[in-house]
Structure 1
């Protein structure tokens, strides 16, 4: 366990149980959310590669236009 995490846990342990539970729930939700994003990105790599290849092929074929940042 990292020193910073040890410090955080030590401070949380000093809080009332209801606040500890709220912090624990927040941490667990964040960890689950991060796991969901990891799964989503790992499952989308093939599709992203395909889309990138299509975009590059369209650019090489002259089917794209240069973006003018002044018109954004």
Structure 2
């Protein structure tokens, strides 16, 4: 545990129980969400998306695309 997190816990000990529980619930949610993001970001990229990106790049290089403005989409 880092010094900063330990300090936060020490300070939280002085709060009423209901506030400690609120902080604990928020922290648990934040940690769970962070872990989900880490797992999601560590997974290999979707091969289909990479295939579509390569085709789009190839089409652009070979002049098979047309530049459009946002109002033309």
TM-score, length of structure 1 as denominator length: 0.67
Higher relative contact order (CA 8 A, sep 6+): 1
Pick the structure with more helix per residue. 1
Task: Kindly report the root-mean-square deviation, in angstroms, between the aligned alpha carbons of the 2 structures.
Answer: 2.5
Q: Which runs of 5+ in 1 are unaligned?
A: none
TM-score, length of structure 2 as denominator length: 0.66
In the alignment, what sits opposite 2:19? 19
- Taking a change above 3 Å as real, the CA distance of residues 37 and 58 of structure 1, as seen in their structure-2 partners, is farther
Q: How many equivalent residue pairs?
A: 71
| Bigger radius of gyration | 2
